[in-house]
Amino acid sequence: MIQSSIEFFKNLPAKQCSECGEKIEEQHECYGNKCDKCNHISN
Ligand SMILES: [Zn+2]
Question: 2-38 pLDDT, tens per residue?
Answer: 667 777 667 777 788 888 998 887 665 555 788 888 8
Residue spans of the domains in the chain: they are 5-42
H helices present in the chain, as ranges? 5-10, 36-42
| Distance in Å, CA 14 to ligand 1 centroid | 14
| Distance in Å, CA 23 to ligand 1 centroid | 8
Q: Give the CA-trace dihedral at 37, 39, 42, 43, to 10 degrees.
A: -120
Contact 14, 35 (CB under 8 A): no
| Distance in Å, CA 19 to ligand 1 centroid | 5
Model pTM?
Answer: 0.48
| Distance in Å, CA 40 to ligand 1 centroid | 9
